[in-house]
Amino acid sequence: MVIENTDMEGRLMMADALVYGQSVYKPAIVIDVATFTHGVLMATGGGAFGCFSNSEEAWRAVQAAGADTGDRAWRFPLWNYFHKQITNEPSVDLRNKGSGCGTPCLGAAFLKNFICCDWVHMDITGVGKVAQWGAPPYLAPRRMTGRPTRTLAALLRRMAADNHHDHHKDHKDHKEQKGAAKA
């Protein structure tokens, strides 16, 4: 790996944490929340948090949680186009900056190299600003929005409920199979 820009140290530290967390805990999904570049803020104007995901199902769950809580999520692309821009140097395997201008997408393409399961990256640059005009009714005027905290909480609650439901169903199916085997 070549470090082309030391100002992009956040993605290096995140990569380290991603590898450690996955190797120790073996999760089915990784959700990380960070502020890496102003590209997300420039693209959304602070009206949505950026989201990258390698899983359509995980993205739909984030989108639904955001709709439930009034937080807007905007999915940015993880196209192979961006992967090529961080791996296109013949003398190295991976570049921390890459080529081109899509810095949020390049950052996510970099992180994706360290993911071994379903993944959601929430880039929250610029969304915690003070709520002013047109704020949702649950936000006090001139207070921080807290976005996407409510979305993350709703997503985790939904995932836990789905996991509990699946575990309960598996347990029930196992008992029925055991009962049928005795008969």
Q: For 47-62, b where at least 16 C-beta lie within 10 A, e where not — what string?
A: ebbbbbbbeeebbebb
User: Which 8-state DSSP code applies to residue 114?
Assistant: T
Q: Is residue 1 in some structural domain?
A: no
pLDDT given for residue 153 in this prediction: 96
pLDDT by residue, tens only, the chain of 183 residues: 999 998 888 899 999 999 999 999 999 999 999 988 889 999 988 889 999 999 999 999 999 999 999 889 999 999 999 999 999 999 999 999 999 888 999 999 999 999 999 999 999 988 877 666 666 666 666 777 778 999 999 999 999 998 887 766 666 666 677 666 666
- Give the count of domains, the chain: 1
Check if the beta carbon of residue 145 is closer than 8 Å to that of residue 129: yes
Q: Is residue 113 one of the residues assigned to a domain? A: yes
Looking at residue 113, its pLDDT comes to 96
Residue 60 lies in a domain: yes
119 in a domain, yes or no? yes
Residue 12's domain is classified under what CATH number? 3.40.630.10
Residue 152, Ramachandran bin (φ over 0: left; ψ between -120 and 50: alpha; else beta): alpha
Structure confidence at residue 126 (pLDDT) = 84
Amino acid 155: pLDDT: 97
43 inside domain: yes
Cβ 115 vs Cβ 54: under 8 Å: yes
Tell me the residue type at 118.
D
Domain around 22:
6-182
**C-alpha dihedral, 88 to 117 to 52 to 72, nearest 10°:** 180
Q: Give me 78's structure tokens.
A: 């993880």
Residue 128 lies in a domain: yes
- What's the pTM? 0.84
- What's the alpha-carbon Rg for the chain, to the nearest Å? 20
Q: Is residue 153 part of a domain?
A: yes
Please check whether residue 118 lies inside any domain of the structure. Answer: yes
- With the C-alpha atoms ordered 87, 89, 91, 95, is the resulting torsion angle positive or negative? negative
